[in-house]
Structure 1
Amino acid sequence: MIQTEIKKLDEALSEAITIAKNKQTPQLFSITEMIDDIDPFLFFEQAKHIEGDRVFWASTSENFFLVGAGEAFDIRATTDRFEQTEAQFKLMLQDALIFNSYRVPGTGPIAIGGFSFDPKKEKTILWEKFHDSQFRVPAYLLTIEDGATYLTINTMVRAEDHQRQLEYSIDQHKNILLDSNATLPDGPVITNKTELDPLGWKELVGQATSHIKEEKVDKIVLAREMRVHFEKKATLSPILSKLINTQTNSYVFSFENDDDCFLGATPERLVRVENQQLLSTCLAGTAPRGNNELEDTQIGLELINDVKNREEHEFVVKMIRDAVTACCWDVDVPKEPVLYPLKHLQHLYTPVKAKLKKEYSIIDVVKRLHPTPALGGLPKDKSLLYIREYEKLDRGWYGAPIGWMDAYKNGEFAVAIRSALIQGTEASLFSGCGVVKESDPEAEYQETNIKFTPMLSVLGG
């Protein structure tokens, strides 16, 4: 990685073309500038006019946004997907020419994307456009961090490229993306929704409880699907805007592949690394919010003292503590969980803090953490095998790590729950819950109904 101080675009492009000619290989060129404030949703909406797909990431509690347009580089891996993803990203950065004097987390050539839940699960047509590991380096990246706004331009420069043509193309794209007169379209309206085999799913929950008792499995997480139909093709930017406005303490994400888009608002951080400081989240145990303050407090107290939910939460805490300890120093885990309130739900929450050892990366941590007991179960191998064999749903990217990493070893990944796969005039919504030996199929079914609410509320349902 060749890191240089800020230069004008023409000077930087000239240097990149010269290097590409000397090496006779394509050269990743990246330049970051600070720009005036711009609405991230308008940027995302305008990005549909740029060739290539879009990405979106936001932390609602921190006012942090990443919005990507087009694609400068694509990373895909099938075997050893965690290792190969990181290896390809490092190789890309090795010879990259980067002009970024700010070095703010999330600026420069970041890779944003995700993994499938289980690469060994039989694939269906539902997720045919998504790969088991896929990350994208956006051609144009908007970053909003700590009240400042940055634009990063990433492109592969080749020996035969002409500087003036590249400058003209970049200038045209910037005019489109930064158009302050653009407006957001209306959001979708659901006309019909169908639960896929709810009776069969309840039977599976009952079957799983018997399996847990017989096979000494502690927990199996089962998920199901709801299919919805819209009046017309769904537009994505107003959905993302509504998610930001309604789903506090969440990570809002979107990854587009052709006409399909996986998006959602998840409260579950998997891991964040910034300047080697690591933060992971144990989020397991769920209850609805109350209709008033008194009822809300009562429900929260019941959740804190509920044996099943506390047991489920402790499974997650132990697993994350063990995984983080393997590659970190100074691991700090509180003894008791607290309540984590969202608009429609509240969860038990325990933060895990540590310092990442220099020989490890955020991808190393992601590999150790996925899937957490909150999305797979315990023991990991037995629960995954059961899900693979008996769950009818093709989870695709649902319940799997989704996030970003930059050239400076910063990054953040969340668990892709409270989500939907948008496909034109239709969408699939996903919801799951942890099954233990005391689980009641009807109660678990009702819990999944509650977890559909965040997505239904922003899709016009």
Structure 2
Amino acid sequence: MTVSVAWDAPDPLPGPLVVRTVEVSDPGPLAARLPRGPVAAWLRRGEGMVAWGRTARVRPGGGADRFDAATRSLAALADRAEVHDPLEVPGSGLVAFGSFTFDPADAGSVLEVPAAVLGRRGGRAWFTTIGAHPAAPPAPLVDAPRPPGPLRWSPGARTAEQWRGAVAAAVARIRSGGLDKVVMARDLLARADAPIDERALLDRLARRHPDCYTFAVDGLVGATPELLVRRSGRSVEALVLAGTSPRGAGPSEDRALAERLAASAKDAEEHRYAVESVRTALAPLCADLDIADRPRLLRLANVQHLATPVHGTLAADRTALSVAAALHPTAAVCGTPTPAALEAIRELEGMGRGRYAGPVGWVDQRGDGEWGIALRCAHIDGPTARLFAGCGIVADSDPAAELAEADNKFRVMADALTG
């Protein structure tokens, strides 16, 4: 496998790579500081990081070892870096943002080191420059991001009717044995008259979905509810989501839908597979692992999920990215058993997922980081947005109900695009 590193400066950089972090006063809404150009972001409840410019980019290609290849390239970059970081908090100093393909057979994974990072965590804010020459601290935007304007919508790889047929085929395969659960995804296309400004999407997503992780990496933008892993020192945590219901129009309907979700055998089965896949992946890596016995209800703006928190202590030093690699793909986005589910996805979905449902997040030079699963997202390419949504399919799944659930999940990005 070939790993390429593209530099935004002469190759090699003149002298060492200089990384300098300084503490700054509260910058206000982080997304409002992003300039035009390549951007990256990881935001939740007003905290996180935004970044711009590009000092280095690693494209590890396809293969199961794409995570290891990206990690080695970042380590090689860190070895030649002069890091001045008096804060030493997760995300300060040298940091990279990444997004990896769902399917190991697909190329397209990326790990990027930005030129500038603005972050806030626990009441402290910082500004980091990465490169041969320091950048100036960010000023308030003078070119406010603009909504994309009118959009033309079209089906993606499959029409709604075709996708229902694919779900029915997945149910039949599950009932025939050898497959317990498979996650079926579909896509939807939107086209504007001018290039779509990612900053407008980030601003809307962060404000409307504060409990999700709003992200942007190399054109992939979204607000995921699912934390694959957070690593701080030897401590790791995750939040497993599987089993979904819409929100109600009022409090009484909302409670009724929540009670139906909690009592649903189909959703409980789907959730159990997701939890066990995380347990199987994390247990060998941890000296201790605490997984809640019963799921709780996670209410978001447009859906509610069954959610199980996970906490553990790593038995050995591993980076957040390497833990994310060990977890991917979970049953929440693939199915179980994993090989049979991945084969069914390849045969029945009729599309390439790209980086949808793959790990997305960040890692710093200490190995700390946060990685989510790229859900509720769209890939932005100039004036075109490709939206994604997926549903967990088990033996009792109803294709019409799954289509309605997928349409509801599209709303997060569709609403961000339309206003």
Provide TM-score, normalisation by structure 1: 0.84
Report if the CA contact (8 A) 2:221-2:379 is conserved.
yes
Give the distance between the partners of 1:89 and 1:140, measured in 2 at CA.
17
How far does the alpha carbon of each residue in 1:395-418 deviate from its partner, in whole angstroms, 9 at most, with x for none?
A: 100000001111122101000000
Q: What's the counterpart of residue 60 of structure 2? A: 77
Corresponding residue to 2:88 among 84, 87, 103 = 103
Corresponding residue to 2:108 among 126, 129, 132 = 132
Q: What's the counterpart of residue 191 of structure 2? A: 229
Corresponding residue to 1:143 among 116, 119, 123 = 119
Report if the CA contact (8 A) 1:290-1:299 is conserved.
yes
Give the distance between the partners of 1:181 and 1:340, measured in 2 at CA.
35
How far does the alpha carbon of each residue in 1:68-93 deviate from its partner, in whole angstroms, 9 at most, with x for none?
A: 11112222213421111111112221
Report if the CA contact (8 A) 2:181-2:341 is conserved.
yes
What's the C-alpha RMSD, in Å, of the aligned pairs? Answer: 1.8
Larger-gyration structure (1/2): 1
Give how far 1:180 is off.
2.7
1:455 and 2:413 aligned: yes
Q: What's the counterpart of residue 252 of structure 1? A: 214
Task: Report which of the two has the higher share of helix.
Answer: 1
The runs of at least 4 consecutive aligned structure 1 residues that moved more than 6 Å come to none
State the secondary structure of the residue aligned to 2:210: coil
Aligned amino acid, residue 399 of structure 1? A
After superposition, where does 1:429-448 map in structure 2 within 5 Å?
Answer: 429-448=387-406
Aligned amino acid, residue 59 of structure 2? R
- Equivalent pairs counted in the alignment come to 403
Gaps of 5+ in 1: 1-22, 122-130, 158-165
1:28 and 2:10 aligned: no
After superposition, where does 1:247-286 map in structure 2 within 5 Å?
Answer: 247-256=209-218, 261-286=219-244
Q: What's the counterpart of residue 4 of structure 1? A: none
Give how far 1:457 is off.
1.1
Report if the CA contact (8 A) 1:223-1:432 is conserved.
yes
Report if the CA contact (8 A) 2:118-2:128 is conserved.
yes
Gaps of 5+ in 2: 1-11
Give how far 1:181 is off.
5.7
How far does the alpha carbon of each residue in 1:141-198 deviate from its partner, in whole angstroms, 9 at most, with x for none?
A: 111112222111111x4xxxxxxxx4xxx4xx52xx6223625233123432223311
How far does the alpha carbon of each residue in 1:210-245 deviate from its partner, in whole angstroms, 9 at most, with x for none?
A: 111223200111110111122433222121111011
Give how far 1:360 is off.
2.7
Q: What's the counterpart of residue 57 of structure 1? A: 42
Q: What's the counterpart of residue 114 of structure 1? A: 99
Give the distance between the partners of 1:234 and 1:91, measured in 2 at CA.
35
Report if the CA contact (8 A) 2:234-2:317 is conserved.
no
Corresponding residue to 1:239 among 169, 191, 201 = 201
Q: Aligned in 2, Cα 1:279/1:190: closer, same or farther, shift over 3 Å?
A: farther
Report if the CA contact (8 A) 1:370-1:401 is conserved.
yes
Q: What's the counterpart of residue 6 of structure 2? A: none
Of 275-284 and 396-405, deviating more is 275-284
Q: What's the counterpart of residue 277 of structure 2? A: 319
State the secondary structure of the residue aligned to 1:206: helix
State the secondary structure of the residue aligned to 2:151: strand
